[in-house]
Amino acid sequence: MGTAIDVRRRQRRGVVSTERIVFPDGWAVSRLPAAAGVSPLSGGELPASRSIPVPKGKAVVIVNDAQRPTPTPWLMERLDVDWERPDVFTAVATGSHAPPTEEELREIFGPFLGRIRTRLVIHRGDGSDMTSLGRTSRGTPIEVNRHLEGSSSVIALGSVEPHYFAGWTGGRKSLVPGLCSLATIRANHRLALEGGRPGSLEECPVHHDLLEGAGIIDKWLQGSGPCLLSALNVIHRDGVFYGSACGPLASLVEQLVPRAREVYGRPLESTFPVVLCLVDYPLDRDFYQSLKALENWKSAVAAGGSLILAAECRDGMGPPTFKQFQGQLPDTEDLVRRIADKYHLGDHKLASFLRYRDSGRSMSLLSRGPLRSSDVPVPVTASLPAALSRVGELLDRSQKRILVVEDAGHCYPLFPA
């Protein structure tokens, strides 16, 4: 019997469980826990119920879809608004994601669903009525859901978490790309090919393009009368709050970044030959979403090493826009040439994966879900011993060191400067 460790896993409906993982003999195991190494906020540091006024007139409250573990009902409770008011609308910022199912709507809104259902806007990047507002300086066309027109207030409710090519979620992302067209999303996401990494905003072209796009929308909103464009965002994990900010949408994320870095950053002194990324709900739904853990942790994989992605992937590959990982993968140079002519959503993730592969490092999927090795361009195994056996064949005994990362889709490594 080798080393055994207990890890924490987040499951559906907010359930957090403990899972025991047993490693074969000969493996040296290190673990990075999901728990934040900082103290949570006290009740007095958080907005009280109904403490944030919503001006009279048409109000649009933007919320995340079910792809993020955002405490939407708690955030809605902070707004001092009558949710039965006929001029108060709630918009689900799906971006390019599929519209939420009925089960997901219940998951998002909880007890609020019945109160807002008749004034609920489900955004469709490929189907909602859009208005075109021009382009950013980087060429991104800003096409936004026309339902925002004539609003006296637009309030984005969200959470700040690491994002592998926008730096951080939250704030401006609820608006752009959350309520924008696929054309807007394609142009903005294409900028991920120019750089971006989790936890960094300064040298992130996607982030700066998002801010500029949000500014264009703000100017349009003010054209039909004063409009308060604001956001309420939190840093939140499994019912525990670590940060909160409310104010102008454009500057909100920056306010929370120092605290978010403490919550989601994991100090790491060196790379590891093998990194086991445990992907928790909701990112474990499909292969596309679970790859965020690879993006967060690929820098922790040593030269010639391997990353094992542990995700259920019960919904299979992911959105229809993500077909590039099915079938034969292109050569990196061939992909770059194609992208120069026409970019498809998901190309940035495919290019990143190809560059990772070209570096001599490998990846496998540990899943008991429906995906098989014939579905994805990586080996798929149903048990950890099988995954480690495959990886171990490439390593000598001195290299059998493995780093286990809990909730790897929501944290990232912090290496010494």
Compute CA 147 distance to the chain's CA centroid, rounded to the nearest angstrom: 25
Rounded Cα distance, 119 and 78, in Å: 19
Helix/strand/coil percentages in the chain, nearest 5? 35, 30, 40
pLDDT at residue number 1: 59
pLDDT at residue number 321: 66
Indicate the pairing of strand 265-267 with strand 412-414: parallel
The torsion angle over the Cα atoms of residues 369, 374, 375 and 378, rounded to 10 degrees, is 90
pLDDT at residue number 251: 92
50 sits in the region (left: phi over 0; alpha: psi -120 to 50; else beta) called left
Give me the residues of the chain with pLDDT under 50, please: none
**Token reading at 216:** 């264009």
- Is this model's pTM higher than 0.85 or not? yes
Secondary structure letter of residue 152 according to DSSP: S
Classify each residue of 21-51 as buried b or exposed e, where b means 16 or more C-beta atoms within 10 Å of its C-beta. bebeeebebebbebebeeebbeeeebbeeee
List pLDDT tens digits, range 296-342. Answer: 999 999 999 999 999 999 999 887 767 777 777 888 888 888 888 88
Inter-residue contact 237 to 220 (CB < 8 Å): no
Length of the chain: 417
What angle is formed at CA 31 by the lines to CA 391 and CA 359, rounded to 5 degrees? 40
List pLDDT tens digits, range 217-258. Answer: 999 999 989 999 999 999 998 889 999 999 999 999 999 999
Rounded Cα distance, 258 and 161, in Å: 12
Domains of the chain: 4-32+268-414 (3.90.226.30), 43-262 (3.40.50.11440)
- Measured on CA atoms in the order 41, 42, 48, 51, is the torsion positive or negative? negative
**Token reading at 75:** 């955030």
Average model confidence (pLDDT) for the chain? 92
Among all chains, which residue has been given the structure tokens 């960094």?
200
- The H or E element containing residue 20 is strand 16-22
Rounded Cα distance, 403 and 391, in Å: 13
pLDDT at residue number 326: 73
